[in-house]
Structure 1
Amino acid sequence: MKNRFLKGAAASLVILTTLAFTSLNKEINIKESKVTWKGEKVTGSHTGTIQLKQGHFIVEGGNPIGGEFVIDMTSLINTDLSGESKGKLEGHLKSDDFFGVEKYPTSKLVITSISKKADGVYGAVGDLTIKNKTNKVTFDLNWKQNSASTMLSIDRSKYDVRYGSGSFFDNLGDKTIYDNFDLAVDLKF
């Protein structure tokens, strides 16, 4: 009887350990998730949104360990202008001067490592691909049971998005557009 109890306890322990360390994909609810962007220039800034096409986190033992997200670049929208100005800015951002969405309709973030920093806060490292150029990005990820959020600052010049960049062109004056743009990401599962 004692032997059967030990075997049963050992089997239960193996099953629980396997379940605890089995990774699974936690799919993003793309309709409920939101990505907002902000780009700045010498004379002001513009804001807007962009949609995820698909995405998931890899979760192990309740903790994120990786993930992959595809951004629909054709969904890029400006939210601080209206009418003709809005249409012109959106068209320009989608043109080859900026993101060339006809040739590059998606961008991708692949999270390659995540480590816990504090309760609900993880340090993440990933490969961000925009216009077929991939660079490492690091950011803090705020993790909850049914959501995750982060702020990223992206240097567009690393992705061959150089229009109006003071890093590449002289004498732009007040037409200079800063290289970094910010993304505020609010994901729902």
Structure 2
Amino acid sequence: MTRNFLKITGIASMMIFAVSCKENPNEVDATEAETEAMATEAAVTYTVDTAASEIMWEGSKVGGTHTGTIDLKSGMVQVNGETVESGEFIVDMTSITVTDLEGESAMSLKAHLEGTAEGKETDFFNTPEYPEAKFVVTGLNGNTLEGNLTLKDVTKNVSFPVSVSYDGDKMMLTSEEFTIDRTDWGIVYGSASLTDTVKDKAISDDMKLKVNLVATK
């Protein structure tokens, strides 16, 4: 009976994992890079306040999730009236934090994600070789921001819902939670799509992100 119970539990975990991978909100379709947006002469430049801005992330595997943040290194947005016309943001991939763990466990996961742990350099983001990621705006259609996202020298165009508001000289851009497939950028470690991955130890290809950006002119 114990053996049957474990077998049923394993099957249930697999089903939950498979369903969760298909039901993520605002799942992004990564497409070929597009031409970056150009601002008009009337546009005003807002500079990103890196201390007040962050990207929140969530990754999952069978049996649990991990969460954390990533800092912006620099960035600017060009705005005409209250319309975003163009922008470029540099992400500091060496700033990854883990918020659901503490102490050595958090530092160990951070080192694995950043690729600073010996023997795990290329598993995820390999920050010694690729310390930065970049997002360049290619358009804003209604409340959908479109842009080229570059990770590890791979560039794909993505789009996700955002809200933009203004308070004096300050602009706030906040995205809804959206999901990218890390394998679109060649990050395949632990993916269930690999034949040598043990399925009940697989790491989801989906990575949830939420952007909170503050910029001033």
Taking structure 2 as the reference length, the TM-score comes to 0.72
Identity of aligned residues (%): 38
2:174 paired with 1:149: yes
Higher strand residue share: 1
The 8 Å contact of residues 29 and 188 in structure 1, kept in 2 or not, is answered as yes
CA distance in 2, matches of 1:66, 1:132: 21
User: How far did 1:171 drift?
Assistant: 4.6
Three-state SS of the structure 1 residue aligned to 2:139 is strand
Q: Which residue of 2 aligns with 1:79?
A: 99
| Runs of 4+ that moved beyond 3 A | none
The aligned amino acid for 2:163 is N
Specify the structure having the higher radius of gyration (Cα).
Answer: 1
SS of equivalent to 2:52: coil
Once the two structures are superposed, the pairs formed by residues 1-189 of structure 1 within 5 Å of their partners are 22-95=42-115, 96-116=122-142, 122-145=143-166, 146-150=171-175, 151-189=177-215
The 1:62/1:83 distance shift into structure 2, 3 A limit, reads: same
1:24: Cα distance to partner? 2.0
Instruction: State the Cα distance separating 1:152 from its structure 2 match.
Output: 2.9
Supply the distance in 2 between the matched residues of 1:75 and 1:171 (Cα, whole angstroms).
Answer: 28
CA displacement at 1:67 relative to structure 2: 1.0
Q: How many angstroms does 1:83 deviate by?
A: 1.8
Does structure 1 retain, via aligned residues, the 8 Å contact 2:57–2:208? yes
User: 3-state DSSP class of the match of 2:194?
Assistant: coil
Q: Distance in 1 between matches of 2:197 and 2:125?
A: 23
Aligned-residue Cα RMSD (Å) equals 1.5
Number of residue pairs matched? Answer: 165
CA distance in 2 between partners of 1:171 and 1:113 (Å): 38
Q: CA deviation at 1:60?
A: 1.2
- What amino acid is aligned across from residue 187 of structure 1 in structure 2? L
The whole-number CA distance in structure 2 between the counterparts of 1:157 and 1:183 is 15
Distance 1:67 1:136 in 2: 14
Secondary structure, aligned partner of 1:158: helix
Preserved CA contact (<8 Å) 2:93 2:131: yes
Instruction: State TM-score, norm by structure 1.
Output: 0.83
Q: Which runs of 5+ in 2 are unaligned?
A: 1-39, 116-121
Distance 2:178 2:137 in 1: 13
| Corresponding position of 2:5 | none
Decide whether the 8 Å contact of 1:109 with 1:129 is kept in 2. Answer: yes
Is the CA contact 1:65–1:115 (under 8 Å) kept in the aligned structure 2?
no
Give the CA deviation at 1:170.
Answer: 4.3
Q: Which runs of 5+ in 1 are unaligned?
A: 1-19, 117-121
For 2:108, what is the secondary structure of its paired residue? helix
